[in-house]
């Protein structure tokens, strides 16, 4: 929740919306106060009329002021009449609250003062040196209604304007969201992802440049793969010939050592070729409906005799999925080989689990071996990445297994995740979304 709030607060969209809203409110406030000031200065006719009205009201109350006459007068409208001085009384709307705090002086002639706020008027008329008559005029029902109507109308207009700003900003900033999605896709290896090119101006230019950059990147990477495929292919044939020749020679210590090196080179080239081929998706994947329960049981059975052993946890029914069984077998074998290879002699058995879950069909390979340091986790699927050389010298890998494994999983439209704790073990999770 806190993360979402921080994201919303930091988003460019929120900031622009905020700046525009504050701008609109500020412009409205300045315009309104200018208008009110201007109106106050120029409303001389109305102010003179109010002074005459105040005088006439005071005359009707009489001199000295009569409470009975004031009562009769107050009955004519929503009004309160107060006498302040040696004698004091209040008549009329005695219960109603008058917005005294907000009253603003409007005009004054011959000691008669007019104060007002939102259709509430206070007329102060001096009776003599010690007494003052105060007439508080409340807005009538119709005026109140007009005021309320004005308030609601302003609120609705403000909401409408803000909604329109929101829609406009969303519309104009959409390319930024598309660009962010595009950048994430390219970061995750989807080099053929292209961002929608819409609109005009700088954002359009940025989108076009981004797409050109992705195309260039894709061409470069594709070229590299083709080169790798070509070179590996070309290297394999003479190497195989050399190996056969050497095997036919007398097996001295030297030729045995050369043979071992050549075999290693051959294994490496085969891995390279498999990896490169897998990237050509059409070549790589031949889907057919496959019973995963059976596939996993059969391939895992082969590890029964190996230390530290294996626990197979699959559903009792056939869980079927459209996959390339050979490629998935290859990927799972690589994970199981690693799990066995990196288990310690006294580690608990490796586990392979198959489940149908909310997020999709999940295969988990868990070991309780040496684990992987946190800094290596993000690089694990990169080609030729090995956690550390000394480890690899013992286990003899080229750092291509997991890269190939991810290529296979990607080609199936599935995801692979890894979690690991050094000295406690590692979990690889493959999820086929449904
Ligand atoms: P390799 O053939 O060298 O094992 P991988 O691509 O299969 O290459 O693995 C890359 C690196 O990840 C390995 O060098 C190894 O250190 C580490 N690794 C892979 N799987 C595990 C595991 N289950 N436990 C610990 N380390 C692992």
Rg of the chain over CA atoms, in angstroms?
Answer: 43
Q: Counting atoms of ligand 1 from 1, which one is nearest the CA of 271?
A: 2
Q: Which residues have a Cβ under 8 Å from the Cβ of 369 and sit 6 or more positions away?
A: 339, 342, 343, 344, 347, 425, 426
The pLDDT of residue 393: 47
Lowest model confidence (mean pLDDT) among 111-125, 152-166, 235-249, 334-348: 235-249
Does the pLDDT at position 117 exceed 50?
yes
Q: Which helix (H) or strand (E) holds 29?
A: helix 12-42
Q: Does the beta carbon of 366 lie inside 6 Å of ligand 1?
A: no
Whether residue 64 is preceded by a cis peptide bond, meaning omega within 30 degrees of 0, is yes
Q: Is the pTM of this model over 0.85?
A: no
Residue pair 302/431 in contact (Cβ under 8 Å)? The answer is: no
Q: Is 425 in the pocket of ligand 1 (CB under 6 A)?
A: no
| pLDDT of residue 61 exceeding 60 | yes
Nearest alpha-carbon partner for 175 in 191, 197, 152, 148? 197
Residue 58: the pLDDT is 92
Q: In what order do the strands lie in the sheet with 415-421?
A: 310-313, 350-357, 360-367, 425-432, 415-421
Dump pLDDT digits (tens) for 357-401: 988 999 999 999 999 999 899 888 887 788 875 555 455 566 778
Can you read off the two tokens belonging to residue 348?
Answer: 């608990």
CB of 391 closer than 6 angstroms to any ligand 1 atom? yes
Peptide bond into 308 cis (omega under 30): yes
Angstrom distance (rounded) from CA 24 to CA 420: 53
Ligand 1 geometric centre to CA of 377 (Å):
10
- With 80 as the cut, is the pLDDT of residue 233 above it? no
What's the DSSP call for residue 102? G
Mean pLDDT of 66-72: 91
> Atom 13, ligand 1: which residue's CA is nearest?
386
More confident residue, 231 or 207: 207
CA angle at 421 for the pair 298 and 393, rounded to the nearest 5°? 70
Residue of the nearest CA to atom 7 in ligand 1? 401
User: Which one has a higher pLDDT value, 322 or 43?
Assistant: 322
- Encode pLDDT of 271-317 as tens digits: 777 766 666 644 557 889 999 999 999 999 999 889 899 999 999 99
In short, whether 380's Cβ falls inside 6 Å of ligand 1 is yes
């Amino acid at each position: 929740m806190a993360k979402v709030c921080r994201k919303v607060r930091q988003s460019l969209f929120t900031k622009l919306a905020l700046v525009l809203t504050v701008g609109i409110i500020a412009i409205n406030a300045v315009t309104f106060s200018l208008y009110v000031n201007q109106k106050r200065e120029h409303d001389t006719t109305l102010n003179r009329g109010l002074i005459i009205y105040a005088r006439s009201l005071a005359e009707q109350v009489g001199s000295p002021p009569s409470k009975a006459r004031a009562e009769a007068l107050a009955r004519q409208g929503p009004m309160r009449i107060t006498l302040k001085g040696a004698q004091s009384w209040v008549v009329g709307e005695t219960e109603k609250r008058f917005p005294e705090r907000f009253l603003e002086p409007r005009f004054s002639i011959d000691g008669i003062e007019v104060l007002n706020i939102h259709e509430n008027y206070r007329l102060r008329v001096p009776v003599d040196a010690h007494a003052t008559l105060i007439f508080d005029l409340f807005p009538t029902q119709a005026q109140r209604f007009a005021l309320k109507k004005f308030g609601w109308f302003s609120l609705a207009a403000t909401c409408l304007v803000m909604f329109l700003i929101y829609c406009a900003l969303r519309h104009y900033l959409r390319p930024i969201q598309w660009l962010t999605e595009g950048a994430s896709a390219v970061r995750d290896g989807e080099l053929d992802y292209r961002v929608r090119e819409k609109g005009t101006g700088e954002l359009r230019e940025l989108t076009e440049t981004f797409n050109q950059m992705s195309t260039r990147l894709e061409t470069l990477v594709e070229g590299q793969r083709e080169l790798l495929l070509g070179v590996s292919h070309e290297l394999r044939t003479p190497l195989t010939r050399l190996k056969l020749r050497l095997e036919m020679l007398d097996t001295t210590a030297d030729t045995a050592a050369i043979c071992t090196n050549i075999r290693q080179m051959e294994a490496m080239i085969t891995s390279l070729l498999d990896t490169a081929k897998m990237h050509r998706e059409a070549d790589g994947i031949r889907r057919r409906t496959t019973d995963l329960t059976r596939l996993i049981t059969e391939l895992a059975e082969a590890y029964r005799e190996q230390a530290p052993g294996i626990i197979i946890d699959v559903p009792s029914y056939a869980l079927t999925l459209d996959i390339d069984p050979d490629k998935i077998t290859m990927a799972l074998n690589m994970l199981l080989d690693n799990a066995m290879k990196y288990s310690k002699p006294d580690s608990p058995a490796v586990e392979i689990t198959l489940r149908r879950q909310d997020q999709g069909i999940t295969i988990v390979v868990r070991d309780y071996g040496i684990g992987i340091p946190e800094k290596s986790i993000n690089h694990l699927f990169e080609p030729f990445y090995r956690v550390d050389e000394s480890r690899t010298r013992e286990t003899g890998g080229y750092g291509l297994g997991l890269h190939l494994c991810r290529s296979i999983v990607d080609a199936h439209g599935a995801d692979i995740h890894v979690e690991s704790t050094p000295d406690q073990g590692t979990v690889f999770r493959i999820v086929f979304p449904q």
